[in-house]
Structures are given as structure tokens and as C-alpha cells.
Amino acid sequence: MTILITGGSGFIGFNFIKLWQSKNNEKIINIDKKKYSIAKKRNLSNNSNLITYNINVANTNKISKILKKYNPRLVIHFAAESHVDKSLNKPSFFIKNNCYDSSKFLNLIFNYWKNNEIINKNKFRFINISTDEVYGHLNPKDPPFNETTNINPRNPYSVSKSSFDLLCNSYFYAYNFPVITTHCTNNFGKYQSKDKLIPLVIKKAINFKKIPVYGDGQQIRDWLFVKDHCFAILKIIKKGIPGNKYNIGGNNEIKNIDLVILICKILDKLIYKKKVKNFDELITFVKDRPGHDQRYSINSTKIKKELNWESKSNFKKSLISTIKWYIKN
């Protein structure tokens, strides 16, 4: 048997591949247009159980041939442009990649599912990996997002993701296509891109450069250890119900400035030879980005109750292990 994933060379997709391979012998076909420079550290090389094709998800001709050759029983769509700051500068690029290109891929997989006589149509799943940012933002005392929260995207990135989510939803209702959508909070862990908050802070600090913090740093995020997220996806593959949405949160809400200070304090204990007394001396407040959402928070009651999943990692311990990995790598 075979599964197909998109974006497996990226942060969450790669961590999922590692977890999947530790538990299954099934072949993985990875569709990813990017040849990441960090791929060597991620050790994402082709082997008997992993084959990567460096092509865009919109390349329906090539992917059709891949589908015909391997007949995957499961598709997990991780691939997305995911940096809010970049989406503010190139909104049309994000709409094209996350919505239009993904729509071509969705329609291709739908027709594959509809016309394929080999796969078990009732057990087939298309898992759409999305984000909590489609819900918009919360005020400090608002209840967390749940699966019935109205979408209210406030930047081009979240608009592109919510648009594709709605399209996936329409394929379920119009064609009974077995789509499941997930909405996760901010992920962290090994192998993350260096322009994301946690690795960025670590990189700036250990190179004794200014650590930029947007605005007053009071924005609140719920942090999810990537391994916990991957275990949630495994649960959804096994027990998730088509047509449903599942929110995946870490129950680790913290202000951006407090997280940055915490990382600095951990680094103070791990690194002895340094040019500053304390790493938090490097913190510099910079102009806030446009439309910066105040708070994200996820209510994970549904996935806990229905699929018996919850985040189990200790936030500080996971953060320390992540920081140690970045120092080493």
C-alpha cells in the first residue's frame, strides 16, 4: 500500500514522515516543489519506502502518472506557502499557490478517487492541513476557537488557506468526497525554517545580533509541539470522520515577548561564552506588522473527545530540547 503527501520536505510534513516511518512500512510518495537547502540535515533522501518528486501540486500531468503508478489509499496535503509577512508583500503569490494550485490538485485527487477501481473508496481519505489563522483573532478574554467558529481571515495567507478550506468542504457536500480538514496552532520543534519565531530568536541570539519583536510583543499564541501535531494527524487518519473539521491545539498560550524572554533565559544557561551578560539585552522592539492578530487559541475538546487525542508534551521541556537541537545544528 502507498500514501501520498504534499509538502513533505517542509517542517511539519517532514516530521510527519519521520513519525510515519517509525510506525509503518507503507511507501510514501512525497510531492514537493522545493528542494530545501536544509534537506541534507533533514536527511530526506529517497529509499525503498520514500520517493520524493520535486514538482508543483498544480502539475496535474505528472501527478496523474504518479497516481496511476502507485494508487495511494490516502492523501495528506501539507504543501502551502505559510509566512504571513511574505504574504503581505506578495498576496497574489499566496492566493495562487495555496488556493488556485491546490484547487487543481484537489480536483485531480477527486477524479482519481472517483474513477479508480483499485482503491477502497470508502476508506480513502484526503486530509487538508490548515491553520487556526483562518478564524481571525481573539481578544485576551475571548473563548478559544472551536470548530463552529466563523472564519474571519485577516491577512493574505489566512485568506488563501480559508478559501481552500471552503473548497474542500464543497467537494464533500457536492460529491461526497472524503475530505477532512485540520486547524492547528503555531507549531515548533526541530527542522523548522529559520525565519519562524523560535528558530529566528535562537539564531539571532547565538550570533549576538538584535532580536526583533513586533510592536509591544503582547500578541498571544498557542504553541503546539510538532510531534504532538503529527500524532494528532495519525489519529485523524485512523478515526476521523469525512466532512469534519478538527482543531489541534497545544494549550500553551504565551505572549510573544514572554516567549522570547524565556528562550533567552534558557540560552543563558546553555551558552557560557557570550558577548552579553544576558541574551535578553539583545531584544529590540520594531514596528508592528500590518493587521497583526492579537491572539490565537484553540479549543481541542472535539478531537480529545471523539478521537482520544491531546497534546502530551511538556512545553518548557520540548522548548529546551528544540533549542539544544538548533544550537547543535
Residue of 32, 81, 132, 280 marked active site: 132
CA–CA gap between residue 295 and residue 302 (Å, rounded): 21
Q: Cell triple for residue 107?
A: 480536483
| Residue 248, burial from CB neighbour count under 10 angstroms (0-12, 13-18, 19+) | buried
Residue of 32, 101, 133, 228 marked active site: 133
- Which has the closest alpha carbon to 80: 167, 160, 177, 181? 160
- To the query of whether residue 132 is one of the catalytic residues in this protein, the response is yes
Residues 6+ apart with CB under 8 A from 183: 130, 131, 132, 134, 135, 145, 147, 245, 246, 247, 248, 298
- To the query of whether residue 133 is one of the catalytic residues in this protein, the response is yes
Residues paired with residue 50 on neighbouring β-strands, in sequence order: 28, 47
152 alpha-carbon distance from chain centroid: 19
Residue of 32, 81, 101, 157 marked active site: 157
CA–CA gap between residue 237 and residue 110 (Å, rounded): 17
Annotated catalytic residues are 132-133, 157
